[in-house]
Amino acid sequence: MFIEPAINRNSSPYQKGQIEVICGSMFSGKTEELIRRLNRARIARQKVEIFKPSVDKRYHEENVVSHNENYIRSTPVNFADDILLLSGNCDVVGIDEVQFFDEQIVAVSQKLAIQGKRVILAGLDMDFEGNPFEPMPKLMAIAEYVTKVHAICMKCGDLAAFSFRLSDSKQKVMLGEKNSYEARCRKCFYEDKR
């Protein structure tokens, strides 16, 4: 069970850091869950910083934007190491679209947690072929808490853990993820997988 940590900044100069991973398919609400946790921390006046890889330019440059258009201001970075330099004296570090970061994100997350920061990572755990999406598996291994969120299968309505990429023939113009992918359960994913 996931436990929301209590950070008491007055009791001791030493804070306990931890790593949390929020994973799942597309349309599973990963970013919404990340934003929920970050907003709760911010309401408690904890210092929150949010980062995302600069390759993710689907929406506004400066915002982590979830699909229901909740947003939190964020900093796009080119390399995982940049997060170490930019996260300074914050209490909580949120990182979205973690699957697009280089392998260094694993060491960076560990360093931040050892510094006493709460690190919350959200990302796709499988690619469109249903294979583990590095570096997510490594992050899930070193995390204290892993939360897997699910979408709804767009074919049968069961819980979905897979991101199915629609073919060019089905979808002539592939602009943006919403038109290019469907959340699928295992059965419906492998029935149509080419």
Consult the annotation and say whether 154 binds a ligand.
Answer: no
CB of 186 to Zn ion, least distance (A): 8
CA 75/CA 64 separation, integer angstroms: 8
Per CB under 5 A, contacts with Zn ion among 116-155 are: 153, 155
Catalytic residue among 20, 33, 49, 97: 97
- Longest CA–CA span in the chain (Å) reads 61
Number of residues this chain uses to bind Zn ion (CB under 5 A): 6
CB of 150 to Zn ion, least distance (A): 12
Q: Is 182 a catalytic residue?
A: no
CB of 27 to Zn ion, least distance (A): 13
Q: What's the full length of the chain, in residues?
A: 194
Q: What is the Cα gyration radius of the chain?
A: 17
Residue 188 interacts with Zn ion (CB under 5 A): yes or no: yes
Consult the annotation and say whether 156 binds a ligand.
Answer: yes
Residue 55 interacts with Zn ion (CB under 5 A): yes or no: no
Q: Per-residue x/- marks for Zn ion, 4-43, CB under 5 A?
A: ----------------------------------------
Residue 183 interacts with Zn ion (CB under 5 A): yes or no: no
Binding residues for Zn ion (CB under 5 A): 153, 155-156, 158, 185, 188
